Structure 1
Amino acid sequence: MTLFVYGALLKHEVHHDECIGDAKQIAKAAWIKGKLYDTDAGYPACVLMENGTVYGELYEVSSETLNKIDELEEGYEKQEMAVMTDQGKTKALVYTVHKQKAEGLTWIESGNWKEYMLWQRKPESFYYFAYGSCMDDARFKLAKVDHYFQQIIGGGTLDQFTTRFTLTRPDGSRADLVEDGGATEGVLYEVPFDAIRYLYKREGVFEGTYRPSFVDVKIGNEVYQDCVTFLVLQKREEVAPPPHYRSEIEKGADLYLSESFRKKIRSHMDSLIKP
């Protein structure tokens, strides 16, 4: 059975290990139509609605696992519904509540529990995974925010995602991560929480260009959990990036990423049609 989770059952969240355990993850980036609310009890509630989006993860779970989750989700309704992923639409079970039960609760406008909790906690710092132009510091310096990006952990690998160029602009495309079972590389920073406002502005989060996501990045034998990265919301057919944007990617890649990946990303950019 396929299960869509969006709150305390997400990877690295409080009930994941005890309930989901080693269940196979089908998609890290998945979403449904609905609205998310903070129950003020350490977990959210989802109300199915057409005019909203709730982000989560997809897992293949056993009947035994589902029975365990049924006990945890007492008071929620379990139903099958359409779930979107980068690979298209599928069906999965989702635990939801009626709209009446959400009255008086705080609406989580982003539909993203991990992002909401990050803003609630406001940690001193967080990990940020850059895979496009932010691998280079030129625009950090122009914006006079380069002091936020001094703590470079190094070049890291992200499994299950591939760097693609799906955000189209008149002069060419911008980079994106597409969950297709591949792997990509990027630069991992540790940045102060104050850097998040610059990153949201640069990535057009409030305009609906990119959305924050949380991924695990490997550097050597170490895994950095729930690193913030940004995914394109409206993915289009790939076209070539403009020369200035490509240059920023190549500069960062040459400093921090593996030779094999540098060859791979250059070859891919060369293969794309210019707008």
Structure 2
Amino acid sequence: MTVKVLFVYGTLLQHEKHHETYMKESRLLAKSAWMSGRIYDTGQGYPACIPAEKGTVYGELYEVTADALNKIDVLEEGYDKQEINVMTDRGQLAAVTYTLPEQKASVLKEIKRGCWKAYQLWQQKPSSFYYFAYGSCMDDARFKLAEVDHHFKQIIGGGVLNGFTTRFTLVRPDGSRADMVEDGGETEGVLYEVPFDAIRYLYKREGVYEGTYRPAFVDVKIGDQMYEDCLTFLVLQKSEEIAPPTHYRSEIEKGADLYLSEAFRKKIRSHMDSLIKP
């Protein structure tokens, strides 16, 4: 059977409106994937992108059959299908994607920071959404200092995320900060249900506007229930890991001790112990 690698960034993404119809038999290669380019709101309920040296478009990477790709060709009629380079946490892959001619994109609204799901969240402004914390936000100390702790009272519980591992790739002078790397592992964190107003604090705290972390969306399992499209944040420029500072490690351990499994608590402590101190 002939297969192709496909990069999707809009309505073919997991949990988006065309995913089940066109992608249900495809194999996910990377939940966190990105290409060089710019993405735009067409105003018709779906985005379009153009390849470009500057800018980044975030999406997912799949292995699809030739038959599935033929059906997607019909859906994407009017777009150019072209081969591009796609980056993942495991390296670069060649893939096909559907792009818009640049002259057609010039009249459209550009989506800042390159993520269709994040853009929709801001556009729709739901009364609440799920937020998955895996670093210092598992503890409420800094929520209280910022006087936003009232936004984070609804704790669903400790959750499991498949496909990712907690690492410490954001290096600062006093030590590193947490990240999640998509390497096929498994990690745990704390799932909150937060009001929409909390998003402003989260974007500021995570340095989204400065390009420190980026918004991403993951599926988190608690017991037998799966919580879909939970907002989380991933480090943009990943460095070699070093140990986190004591105060930051303390926040992680406090949250982990309250909500996460004993096996994970042992694993994350052991990993932090193994890292070289700055």
- Residue 117 of structure 1, aligned match among 115, 120, 123: 120
Q: Which residue of 2 aligns with 1:169?
A: 172
Which of 245, 248, 255 is the aligned partner of 1:245? 248
1:48 partner SS: strand
Which aligned pairs between 1:54-203 and structure 2 lie closer than 5 A? 54-203=57-206
Q: Distance in 2 between matches of 1:110 and 1:167?
A: 19
Q: Deviations over 1:19-68 (max 9, x none)?
A: 01131100000000110000111100001111110000000000110001
1:110 Cα shift?
1.2
Give % identity. Answer: 73
Q: Does 2:201 match 1:205? A: no
Distance 1:105 1:80 in 2: 23
Structure 2 gaps of 5+ residues are none
Paired residue for 1:40, among 29, 37, 43? 43
Q: Deviation of residue 137 (structure 1)?
A: 0.3
Residue 103 of structure 1 deviates from its aligned partner by 2.1
Distance (Å, rounded) in 2 between the aligned partners of 1:169 and 1:145? 25
Q: Report the residue type matching 1:143 in the other structure.
A: A
SS in 2 for 1:196: helix
What's the offset of the Cα at 1:106?
0.6
Q: Aligned residues, how many?
A: 275
- State the partner residue of 1:256: 259
Q: How far apart are the structure 2 equivalents of 1:14 and 1:110?
A: 22
| Offset from partner CA, 1:77-114 (integer Å, 9 cap, x none) | 11111000001111000100111111211110111000
Q: Deviations over 1:125-173 (max 9, x none)?
A: 0000000000000000011000000000000000000000000000000
Q: State how far apart, in whole Å, the 2-side matches of 1:262 and 1:31 are.
A: 31
3-state SS in 2 of match to 1:51: strand
Match 2:9 to one of 1, 6, 10: 6
Question: The residue matched to 2:69 in structure 1 has which SS?
Answer: helix
In the alignment, the residues of structure 2 paired with residue 80 and residue 225 of structure 1 have an alpha-carbon distance, to the nearest angstrom, of 30
Return the alpha-carbon distance in structure 2 between the equivalents of residues 234 and 22 of structure 1: 33
TM-score, with structure 2 as normaliser: 0.98
Structure 2 residue 53 is matched with structure 1 residue 50: yes
Give the Cα–Cα distance (whole angstroms) in 2 for the partners of residues 81 and 139 of structure 1: 42
Cα distance in 1, alignment partners of residues 248 and 166 from structure 2: 14
Which secondary structure does the structure 2 equivalent of 1:189 belong to? strand
Distance 2:138 2:84 in 1: 38
Instruction: Specify the SS of the correspondent of 1:110.
Output: helix
Structure-1-length-normalised TM-score = 0.99
Counterpart residue number, 2:233? 230
Q: What amino acid sits opposite 1:100 in the alignment?
A: Q
